[in-house]
Amino acid sequence: MTQPRNYGFEEEAGMLKDAARRFFGERLPVDRLHGLVATDYDPEGVAPLRWDPAIWDEMVDLGWTSLAVPEDAGGLAMPWVAVAGLVEEAGRAALPAPLLTTLQTTALLRHLGPSATSALEEIAGGVAATVVCLNAGGCPGPGSLRASDGRLDGEAWFVQDAGKCSRFLVLAAEEDGAWGLYWTSADAAGVTIHSDAIVDLTRDQARVQFSATPAERLAGDGLQLWRAAEPELWTLLSADMVGAAEWQLQTTVEYAQQRKQFDRPLGFFQAVKHQLVDVMVAIDESKSLVYSAACALDHEPERRRELALMAKASASETAGFASGRSVQCHGGIGFTWECYVQLYFKRQEHSRRLFGDAATHRAEIARILIDRDAA
């Protein structure tokens, strides 16, 4: 199979992306975001849940939770490139709402066939969901989480937006070495959510404990399905990082145009100008790879894993680079709590190590390209 020349990014996708940029621009300008999530500054405390649940309802009304849901489950089945466009804009707004996690959960559910239809219907109807799959090492696989007779026991780590989601898609070990995916509720019996004290102010994260929690077993080999869905998870997270990096670039460029030292705007000095150009170059590399990967999800299954790994490896580097430069080029003010760049810095540092960091992903690409392991 081959990819279409325009990535399959049709007019509808462009309209969605434009609408998202307008929506976030009006609904969540960065001063409002700062007022929402950066009210307190206790570095040693566990922050309360800081978000505006009303924005979730508005996004549901706009149909965004049903975008990636198949038609037979009441969704719009938009191509992944269109979904990536929306996520890029959400990243640009550093959206503190479980849109990315819900879309990632949707992606995993789509690999499950008819057994996931009712879960997908719930998401299309506006239920926020997240994947509960990582062990204490941040990897999917052996941990303490066990399932037997439709009950979950043990704990999972690094659950994204756990406090904002009402449904969990849980990867749990079963007897005889098998793995299953289970659909359950945040308020089901035996669920305890221990909020993590994290650096990122635009997300929440938790360690989730289960004790004889009833859950619905969905069809298939859980670990294999997780692996099959990783390209979608990586690509969407990368789109978020690319959007956030673009905000970091544009905001820092504006500052370099306005702020004067030695009677010149900062951007006059090549030591600053060239850094900002290098950030732009890095963003464009990641952005081209994100849309190429998203297009592969839609059109080129044989390269989906390789291209998604490239997108994530690139976006993780870009996220770190853009973050560092955005603070450095803002100078003293960039180091303060009141300056907005801190919000994006923290979100990017969180994202870039989630679901595998750049070096881990490059090592896997090496196995595909050099050792020619099947992707």
Partner 1 sequence: MTHPERRDSAEQAEYRAHCRDWLAAHHPGEPPVRLPTSALEIMTDQQMDYLRAWQGAAYAAGLVGCDYPEAFGGGGRSDCQRIANEEMLAARTPYFPNIIGLGMAAPTVLHHGSEELKARLLPRLFSGEDIWCQGFSEPGAGSDLASVQTFAERRGDKWVINGHKVWTSLAHFAEWMILLLRTDKGHKYEGLSYFVVPIAAALGRGVTVRPLIKMTGETGFNEVLFEDLEVDDSYRLDELGKGWQVAMTTLLFERGAGDLVTPRSGGLKSSSAHTTSARAVMDLAQRTARGKGLASEDPLLRDRMVRQAIREEALKEHQRRARVPALIDHPMRLPLQNKLLASELAQDTAALALDVAGPAAGLYLGDEHAPAGGQWPLAYMNSYGITIAAGTSEVQRNILGERVLGLAKSK
Catalog residues that contact partner 1 under the rule CB under 8 A: 2-7, 9, 13-14, 17, 85, 246, 249, 253, 256-257, 264-265, 267-270, 272-274, 276-278, 280-281, 284-289, 291-292, 307, 310, 313-314, 359, 362-363, 365-366, 369-370
> 9 or 355, CB closer to partner 1?
9
> 192 or 257, CB closer to partner 1?
257
> 160 or 292, CB closer to partner 1?
292
The distance of closest approach from Cβ of residue 19 to partner 1 in the complex, given in angstroms and rounded to an integer, is 12
The distance of closest approach from Cβ of residue 9 to partner 1 in the complex, given in angstroms and rounded to an integer, is 6
Element (H, E) at 265: strand 264-265
> 204 or 246, CB closer to partner 1?
246
Amino acid in the structure at residue 251: T
DSSP state of 302: G
The distance of closest approach from Cβ of residue 80 to partner 1 in the complex, given in angstroms and rounded to an integer, is 14
Angle between the 270-299 and 80-92 helix axes, to the nearest 10 degrees?
150
The distance of closest approach from Cβ of residue 125 to partner 1 in the complex, given in angstroms and rounded to an integer, is 29
**Four-residue CA torsion sign, 35, 29, 200, 256:** negative
The distance of closest approach from Cβ of residue 363 to partner 1 in the complex, given in angstroms and rounded to an integer, is 7
> 120 or 283, CB closer to partner 1?
283
d(CA 111, CA 48): 34
Nearest to 219 by CA among 289, 364, 119: 119
Element (H, E) at 53: helix 53-61
111 contacts 118 by C-beta, under 8 angstroms = no
> 188 or 280, CB closer to partner 1?
280
Nearest to 8 by CA among 68, 61, 84, 59: 84
C-beta neighbour count of 52 within 10 angstroms: 16
Question: In the numeric block, which tokens belong to residue 120?
Answer: 């997908």
The distance of closest approach from Cβ of residue 306 to partner 1 in the complex, given in angstroms and rounded to an integer, is 9
